Structure 1
Amino acid sequence: MLAPFLVSFLILFVVVMAAITMASKFFDAKRKKQVSSMLKTATGDPQPEVSVSNLLMEPAEEQRSFMERFLEGLDIAQKLQAQMQQAGLDWSPLKFLVMTLVFFVIGVVLGLRFQFIGFGYTSLALGAGIGLLPYFYVRRSRTRRLAKLEEQFPEALEFLARSMRAGHAFTISLEMLGEELPEPLGQEFRTLFNEQNLGAALEVALKNLTNRVPLLDMRFFSSSVLLQKQTGGNLAEILTQLANVIRERFRLKGQVKAASAHGRLTATILMCMPIVTMGALLIVSPGYLQGMAKDPDGQYIIAAAIVAQILGNYFIKRIINIKV
């Protein structure tokens, strides 16, 4: 009797969340239309659409729904928004929440549909696992983007140093760097230049840059620029030395990665063996696991095995992840 109740509750919950989101979008769109109409009347602008974004390209208050404004007030939503921004994803906390709920419901429904895993905590665990896919995607995208940014950074520093040696000012060098450098680092320096060009102090613009790109090298760069601004000195030479240090660390990191390749391969094999074994048993002898999956004690054992697998993966990665 628990399964139909749980499915009904999940469906009702998703429907209510969707209704609240659509209603908030409707009323906020109506308000935005009224504001745009008043602005058009006041300015005599014949264009039907009026942008209400601020100068730093942040969404204006009227452009966000009630649910988005509510979530933005939560500390966890702010941290999640920062991670999505660092991952280069144009997602809002509301969109992330809806995607997580949808994937969770899909996982629970799949757990109820395929009876070989039984019902109970196993279906909820499957729903939770699939529901975490958006979070894992954000984390993976963030890691890959930060790695790409770190790889491009020495080239950017050398570009700035050469430009300043050629006689260009620091701000002009930033503009040239943002135009010449490929993504994703080019976009970050374009944002840095635009913020400063629109009136933001250099300290504030650099702080925003380090928040968007939380790399140690970026903090070194910001500190070097601010220190040179306060005390003077040859900034081009400082940036060149910093680029050389970063390249040397990359070389050392490559050596460490080659030395730990055996451990990473072992970890991959150990993590895949239980999954491959269970899949083979389900194909060759489905009844072998059905008894355990349908028995309450067996479900606890399966759940404990999944938890042990996750913990094992975590500790192995911590062991082979050597920071340089």
Structure 2
Amino acid sequence: MTVVAALSTGVFVALLVAMCSGGLPALRRTPRPRGPSALVVQLQQAGVTWTPLQVRAVTVVGAVLVAALVWAMTGIPAMALVPGALVLAAPQALLRRRALTRVRSVREAWPDALAMIGGSVRSGRPLSHAVVDVSLDGPVALRGPMAGLAARIQTVGLVPALQAVADTVGDPVTDRVVEVLCLAHAEGGRIVTDVVADLAHSIGAEVQAGEEIDTLSLEGKLNARLVFALPWVVLVVLTARPGPFAEFYSGPGGAIVIGLGAVVSLIGVALVSRLSRIPDEPRVLRPQAAE
């Protein structure tokens, strides 16, 4: 007790001295700057012009329609829960898949684009002209995000125009390329070709490593989805026609079995998705998505 009393006295005296001297630590949390939401970032990366409200509205309507259809086919209200939940999660998964595909195609295009920029600069063309050449005749994956780049360069300059490209793609690799190109534009000289060549080599290595990881994880993801979906497809087929299966699952016991199975299945899918997801590289050069 003596030790506790001594410690309490010491803490009290320290806080009293800090308060009198104006050094009392603030208990308020400093508000962190919030970037765009994760759904906004996914829509941006996927190249979809819908708003988050539109996506959520279509998702809810689709879930209700699918649930009603399954209910009408089987006559069992509990059977409509899992298909409805899947439809609720499907747009998010499709958006993420489309965003990953689009971002990956842009990443794979950057080494060739940087090689094209480096060759143009070595031949004596300014960096701004080399970047415009990429937007017009470069890899197809980059022509969409870089469309109208020449007009933006003439209006606001090279650096803001390139930053607009980075904001359109929403990819950390593109952020890095844009920052390096802006630095090369500011420094000029022979550093441009050296920096562009090193960047193209590093991005090419990253793309190759990402492809190997995706190939190794593809089989596990397909097996997990098949294991989840197959029992429910079989159950819908069995209960779609009159018989003992439809009679059992129409009763309270069947509803309990369906509910427990749905909970276990959804937890399993969530765990598999979480464990198999490759962490996204943070956009340290741009605002982060708010969770």
Question: Could you state the TM-score of these two structures normalised by the residue count of structure 2?
Answer: 0.69
Of 48, 73, 91 in structure 2, the residue corresponding to residue 89 of structure 1 is 48
Asked if the contact 2:112/2:139 (under 8 Å) is kept, the reply is no
Of 246, 249, 269 in structure 1, the residue corresponding to residue 223 of structure 2 is 269
Asked if the contact 2:136/2:143 (under 8 Å) is kept, the reply is yes
Question: What is residue 145 of structure 2 aligned with on the other side?
Answer: 188
Amino acid at match of 2:226: C
Cα separation, 1, equivalents of 2:238 and 2:56: 39
Of 166, 169, 175 in structure 2, the residue corresponding to residue 210 of structure 1 is 166
Amino acid at match of 2:50: W
Asked if 1:113 is matched to 2:69, the reply is: no
Alignment size in residue pairs: 242
Identical pairs, percent: 18
Question: Could you state the TM-score of these two structures normalised by the residue count of structure 1?
Answer: 0.63
Q: 1:245, CA displacement in angstroms?
A: 1.6
Q: 1:98, CA displacement in angstroms?
A: 3.9
Partner SS for 2:124: coil
Larger RCO, structures 1/2 (Cα 8 Å, 6+ apart): 2
CA RMSD of aligned residues (A): 3.2
Question: What is residue 155 of structure 1 aligned with on the other side?
Answer: 112
Amino acid at match of 1:188: P
Q: 1:140, CA displacement in angstroms?
A: 1.6
Partner SS for 2:71: helix
Asked if 1:305 is matched to 2:259, the reply is: no
Of 127, 145, 148 in structure 2, the residue corresponding to residue 170 of structure 1 is 127
Q: How does 1:14-25 map to 2 (within 5 A)?
A: none
Asked if the contact 1:112/1:123 (under 8 Å) is kept, the reply is yes
Q: 1:76, CA displacement in angstroms?
A: 10
Taking structure 1 as reference, are residues 193 and 306 closer, same or farther at Cα in structure 2, changes over 3 Å only? farther
Cα separation, 2, equivalents of 1:315 and 1:290: 37
Asked if 1:246 is matched to 2:208, the reply is: no
Amino acid at match of 1:152: A
Cα separation, 2, equivalents of 1:98 and 1:186: 32
Amino acid at match of 1:273: V
Question: What is residue 4 of structure 2 aligned with on the other side?
Answer: none
Contiguous gaps of at least 5 residues in structure 2:
1-33, 282-291
Taking structure 1 as reference, are residues 78 and 280 closer, same or farther at Cα in structure 2, changes over 3 Å only? closer
Amino acid at match of 1:163: S
Asked if the contact 2:67/2:83 (under 8 Å) is kept, the reply is yes
Asked if the contact 2:166/2:174 (under 8 Å) is kept, the reply is yes
Contiguous gaps of at least 5 residues in structure 1:
1-74
Asked if the contact 2:107/2:207 (under 8 Å) is kept, the reply is no
Question: What is residue 51 of structure 1 aligned with on the other side?
Answer: none
Taking structure 1 as reference, are residues 113 and 76 closer, same or farther at Cα in structure 2, changes over 3 Å only? farther
Q: 1:278, CA displacement in angstroms?
A: 4.1
Partner SS for 1:189: coil
Amino acid at match of 2:172: L
Question: What is residue 140 of structure 1 aligned with on the other side?
Answer: 97
Taking structure 1 as reference, are residues 255 and 148 closer, same or farther at Cα in structure 2, changes over 3 Å only? closer
| Residues 88-121 of structure 1, C-alpha deviations (whole Å, 9 max, x = no match) | 22334454344223312212312431335x225x
Asked if the contact 2:45/2:171 (under 8 Å) is kept, the reply is no
Asked if 1:223 is matched to 2:179, the reply is: yes
| Residues 243-270 of structure 1, C-alpha deviations (whole Å, 9 max, x = no match) | 1122223334444455x35xx4244224
Cα separation, 1, equivalents of 2:186 and 2:147: 24
